[in-house]
Amino acid sequence: MATQTVEALIQGGKASAAPPLGPALGPTGINIGQVVAEINKKTADLAGMQVPVKVIIDTQNKTFTIEIGTPPTAALIKQEAGIQKGASNPVQEKVADLVIEQIIKIAKTKEDSLLGKGLKAKVREVIGTCQSMGILVEGQPAQDTLKDIAAGKYDEKIASGKTELSAEEKKRLEEERKRLQAEMEKRRAEFEAKGKQMIKEMEGKENKFIRKALAEAGIPMKVIDELAPSEKEAAATAAAEKK
């Protein structure tokens, strides 16, 4: 049997005949509408995430099978945390809190693609990604939870493989997410106010000097770029406004 494989990254539940799928499937002669419908059915639970998809086509009888991969670990973390993106500065910002059951769920979902040997090692990998995204685990910085795992604190839960949360746990996590979001917005407002005051006091000085002073004062780079954009960023913004 002669086969052809088409691979694409699509948004869960929103595959269409538009690129990247349509143009790749067109020359194969299969029914694109059926392929799209099947993909959307299989990825409905992954809405909002980028999902790797393989369409394996029998070029003789024009039939196909579909294989759905797992989204990146970061995408699964964001889904569990109920957020759109991680922290721009994970050292200073914390945007959500996950419990060990959610980490276990992600580790089991990504089991075939994580490098660790055994579930405990895979859980550690997922927590490492949380650390880079500014996400707490069990109400504390991810690196502290990693120490607890090394000490065996969560061995029983990991061994059980439990991934379900009670309604009470879900409610607490949602409240914590809102609290962290409000705290982050408050800190950003404080950084902006401080940055604007410093810029006012340094009026007339070179932009590179101002940017350096803001950075030394602990202002996040994202805020600095908005308040005192570099020449390159300013030129890019001006060019975009002309279009």
Which tens digits make up the pLDDT trace of 23-82? Answer: 999 888 899 999 999 999 988 877 777 888 999 999 888 899 999 888 889 989 998 898
Q: What is the DSSP string of 176-233?
A: HHHHHHHHHHHHHHHHHHHHHHHHHHTTTS-HHHHHHHHHHTT--HHHHHHHS--HHH
Place of tokens 């993106």: 85
Tell whether pTM > 0.85.
no
**CATH 3.30.1550.10 placement within the chain:** 3-68
Say what the pLDDT of residue 242 is.
52
Quote the DSSP letter at residue 40: H
> Is it the case that residue 96 has pLDDT exceeding 70?
yes
Write phi, then psi, for 185 (nearest 5 degrees): -65, -35
Say what the pLDDT of residue 241 is.
52
Higher pLDDT, 166 or 136: 136
Percent of the chain with pLDDT over 90: 49
User: Rounded mean pLDDT of 15-28?
Assistant: 90
Say what the pLDDT of residue 184 is.
83
The architecture of the domain spanning 73-165 is Orthogonal Bundle (1.10)
User: Rounded mean pLDDT of 122-133?
Assistant: 95
> Is it the case that residue 233 has pLDDT exceeding 60?
no
The architecture of the domain spanning 3-68 is 2-Layer Sandwich (3.30)
- In this prediction, residue 234 has a pLDDT band, given cuts at 50, 70 and 90, of low
> Is it the case that residue 243 has pLDDT exceeding 80?
no
**CATH 1.10.10.250 placement within the chain:** 73-165
User: Rounded mean pLDDT of 215-239?
Assistant: 77
Say what the pLDDT of residue 236 is.
53
> Is it the case that residue 121 has pLDDT exceeding 90?
yes
Q: How is residue 176 written in tokens?
A: 């914590």
- Average pLDDT score, the chain: 88
Say what the pLDDT of residue 87 is.
87
- In this prediction, residue 1 has a pLDDT band, given cuts at 50, 70 and 90, of low
Say what the pLDDT of residue 89 is.
84
Residue 15 contacts residue 39 (beta carbons within 8 Å): yes
Percent of the chain with pLDDT over 70: 94
Q: How is residue 88 written in tokens?
A: 């721009």
